[in-house]
Amino acid sequence: MIEIEGLTKRYGPKLAVDDVTFTVRPGIVTGFLGPNGAGKSTTMRMIVGLDKPTAGHALVDGKPYAKHPAPLHEVGALLEAKAVHTGRTAFNHLRALAATHGIPKSRVHDVIAMTGLESVANKRVGGFSLGMGERLGIAAALLGDPHTLILDEPVNGLDPEGVRWVREFCRYLASEGRTVFISSHLMSEMSQTADHLIVLGRGRVLADAPISDVIAGATRRVVRVRTPQVQALTAALAGPDITVTSFDDGALEVSGVDAARIGDIAAASGLPLHELTPVDASLEEAYLELTQDEVEYHSEVTR
């Protein structure tokens, strides 16, 4: 469990993370979504103490990360930037990290096998591809058999097979009762992995809800309607909270009323319909809408 309260990070005049409060619960995969520069990485770095918060605090299982007697057993972290000396082999890198906690060499071999790095374990990390580097980062995060996993953009640079492996692995770890917290700037990625979503924009929490609620809550659903009698239908539909937008190709987009009701109204008025299509906004659109508002809001304030 990760508890974050009032977490703030200021770099000079810029607020990278602005009074953020949320809880990441065990047993589920929590996605941390936001455009690049939203403050995801900074928030994650503050959880493991690499960056010091300007205000607020982050607790892992009730304590600051650094106060745990075996930090690597508490949190396994893969942070966005490469964090490996390029002159060392993957095996020696993992062995050196393991040594700090007295983690046996057998566990080093285990995580190498788990992440499929056997063939390159004795090669120097400088020659690794982005995908292999990412796997090594995940291996390092798993080293201490941690209760909580914090993975910053874990599928970055992985091939499709690797992406699926990370997804399934995250779900498996969560099913074991661990806390899994993964960031991404891609909504499509989150929709296939996460149960719960925390959306960050400009350093602030825009949404903190189950993934289904985020889609439902952040979007207006619209119904696309075609009729030869546009004006008559528009008049028939008029009502509070109902908006009708007409497009050049003759289609109408109606929001505030569902498809069945539009069909009923049209039938009652004797108006023919050529199309009646409910359009659900995709996750991607929901996400764009959330973050778009945030960007516009800030532009108005600052300019």
Instruction: For residues 19 and 229, give the distance between their C-alpha atoms in angstroms, rounded to a whole number.
Output: 52
User: Which phi-psi region, left, alpha or beta, contains residue 183 (left: φ > 0; alpha: ψ -120 to 50)?
Assistant: beta
Site membership for other proteins, residue 99 (CB under 8 A): yes
Closest CA to 147 of 168, 167, 177, 103: 177
Q: What is the DSSP letter of 116?
A: T
Instruction: For residues 122 and 119, give the distance between their C-alpha atoms in angstroms, rounded to a whole number.
Output: 8
Least distance in Å: CB of 68 to other proteins?
8
Question: How would you classify the pairing of strands 148-152 and 179-184?
Answer: parallel
Which residues contact residue 26 at a Cβ distance below 8 angstroms, ignoring those fewer than 6 apart? 1, 147, 148, 174, 177, 178, 179
Query: For other proteins, which stretch binds (CB under 8 A), given 89-97, 215-223, 234-242, 245-253?
Result: 89-97
- Please select the residue that binds other proteins; options are 174, 199, 223, 233, rule is CB under 8 A: 174
3-state SS, residue 240: coil
Site membership for other proteins, residue 271 (CB under 8 A): no
- Please select the residue that binds other proteins; options are 10, 35, 82, 276, rule is CB under 8 A: 82
- Please select the residue that binds other proteins; options are 26, 56, 157, 256, rule is CB under 8 A: 26
Site string for other proteins, 179-218 (x = CB under 8 A): ----------------xx-------------xxx------
Site membership for other proteins, residue 101 (CB under 8 A): yes
Site membership for other proteins, residue 87 (CB under 8 A): yes
Q: Quick one: how far is CA 113 from the chain centroid? A: 27
The size of the interface with other proteins (CB under 8 A), counted in residues, is 54
For tokens 């995940």, name the residue. Answer: 138
- Please select the residue that binds other proteins; options are 147, 167, 185, 202, rule is CB under 8 A: 147
Residue numbers at the binding site for other proteins (CB under 8 A): 25-28, 45, 48-52, 65-66, 69-73, 77, 79, 81-89, 92-93, 95-103, 107, 140, 144-145, 147, 174-178, 195-196, 210-212
